[in-house]
Amino acid sequence: MKRIDLLSELVLENQTKLLLLVIDGLGGLPGENGKTELEAASTPNLDKLASKGEAGLLQMVEPGITPGSGPGHLALFGYDPLDFRIGRGILEALGVGAKVAPQDVCVRGNFATWGPDDVIVDRRAGRISTEKNRELIAFLSKNIEEIKGVKVKLYPGEEHRFVAVFSGDGLSEEVEDADPQKNGLPMRWAEPSSSRGNLMASVANEFIKRVRELLAEEEQANGCLLRGFSQAPHMPSLSQLYKINPVAIATYPMYKGIARLVGMEVVEADRGLEELFEVLSSQWDKYDFFYVHVKYSDSFGEDGNYEAKKEVLEKLDSLIPKVLELKPDVLVVTGDHSTPSQLKSHSWHPVPVLLVSPYVRYGNCSGFGERECAKGALGIMPAHHLMGLMLAHGLRLSKYGA
């Protein structure tokens, strides 16, 4: 029996409130001062919670495996990411509210800066404004409606990101990313990972060429990249599995998408940190499981901005009292992966986790940081075990066996 099925079999329904606060890209590596961004940040509120809770490190997939945001979040919600594999494209599409049929292929797009000889100068087009993104998508939508009999629907995202949904017969998600993954490298065109992906790869490459032609005069966003080719999977919802009434409070489309995929209600929030917790407070009486997502720690990690990531963590810590005022029965603070500013990317390093409830064995940690959490009672555990702990601390699991 899979763990997720066991939890579903044992789950009880009650009125306890469970809060999962996900700080995107939380984990880091020591900088010149010998401390990670989290360790260097002034976080008195999280440190105090760490002394009163149970801490540890989460292995998001397997040791040495660098997780994407999708697998990381699935693990936090109790789905083993090796059993449930989901492409980024479908998550982004659901996040922007796209209507997706089972045969459609969804893709995450990046506006990018192309140089001579198809070298990708900047994969994020200087992080153009969301307003500029919308202008470009409106223009492209009028000029690219169909390619080789396949309909194309475009949706703007945040900053440089957008979503493309391809609809037609014979399409498959079995296509490799059209993205060199690093700046300064030649364009890597879409290739099928099996013969079933031949048509989709051909359509994707033609789409990229048309975008390049249409945006040739743009200074920054003069082309695009496509990655995360994916179709809609079938997944059991959190409500079905755990008898909870869950809500997601997030700003970026991808995280709204994964929340919708697992059956959460999604409440819109502005991009400020304060707004997230104001929305949380306004929804507190309506739900019993709350997923709150903080994005900017990851963004600054990917930019290699150690100080800015540290400042986000400090700002977040200053808002923790607003969370505690709500008196959650179970509070978990963690991340979906590590994003060290030294690497400017996701990494394989385990992620700090902190669990607070009336039933913890506290006293192991003096602060909330990678090396303090490594001393904690939770140890290093698979991330998809976390949901079982949250349910148990919320008194939502019955005994197993006689």
Listed by start position, the domains of the chain span 3-83+235-393, 91-230
Q: Are 3-83+235-393 and 91-230 in the same CATH fold?
A: no
Residue 195 has what pLDDT? 94
Encode pLDDT of 225-281 as tens digits: 999 999 877 888 999 999 999 999 998 877 888 888 888 999 988 778 899 999 999
Q: Which of 291, 263, 243 is nearest to 8 (CA)?
A: 243
Residue 93 has what pLDDT? 85
Encode pLDDT of 113-155 as tens digits: 999 999 999 999 889 999 999 999 999 999 999 999 999 999 9
pTM to 2 decimal places: 0.78
**Contact residues for 29 (Cβ-Cβ < 8 A; gap 6+):** 36, 340, 342, 343, 347, 349
Residue 158 has what pLDDT? 85
Residue 2 has what pLDDT? 84
| Neighbouring C-beta atoms of residue 401, cutoff 10 Å | 4
Strand order in the sheet with 351-356: 265-268, 246-250, 289-294, 18-23, 330-334, 351-356, 54-59, 379-382
Q: Where are the beta strands (DSSP E) in 277-350?
A: 289-294, 330-334
Q: Which of 332, 340, 350, 335 is nearest to 50 (CA)?
A: 332
User: What CATH number is given for 91-230 in this structure?
Assistant: 3.30.70
Encode pLDDT of 41-63 as tens digits: 999 999 999 999 999 999 999 99
Local confidence band at 7 (pLDDT 50, 70, 90 cut-offs):
very high
Local confidence band at 89 (pLDDT 50, 70, 90 cut-offs):
confident
Q: Which of 117, 119, 123, 248 is nearest to 185 (CA)?
A: 119
Q: Where are the beta strands (DSSP E) in 128-235?
A: 146-147, 150-156, 161-167, 185-186, 223-230
**Cα–Cα distance, 141 to 104 (Å, whole number):** 17
**What mean pLDDT is predicted for residues 201-230?**
94
Encode pLDDT of 327-356 as tens digits: 999 999 999 999 999 999 999 999 999 999
**Cα–Cα distance, 110 to 131 (Å, whole number):** 15
pLDDT of 159 above 80? yes
Residue 270 has what pLDDT? 75
Residue 235 has what pLDDT? 81
Report DSSP letters for 40-100, one per residue.
Answer: HS--HHHHHHHHHSEEEEEESSSTTPPPPHHHHHHHHTT--TTTS---HHHHHHHHTT---
> Which pair of structure tokens corresponds to residue 63?
């040791």
Residue 153 has what pLDDT? 94
CATH of 3-83+235-393, picked from 1.10.357.10, 3.40.309.10, 1.20.810.10, 3.40.720.10, is 3.40.720.10
Local confidence band at 12 (pLDDT 50, 70, 90 cut-offs):
very high
Residue 189 has what pLDDT? 96
Residue 101 has what pLDDT? 79
3-state secondary structure of 280: helix
- pLDDT, mean over the chain: 93
> Which pair of structure tokens corresponds to residue 182?
């690093």
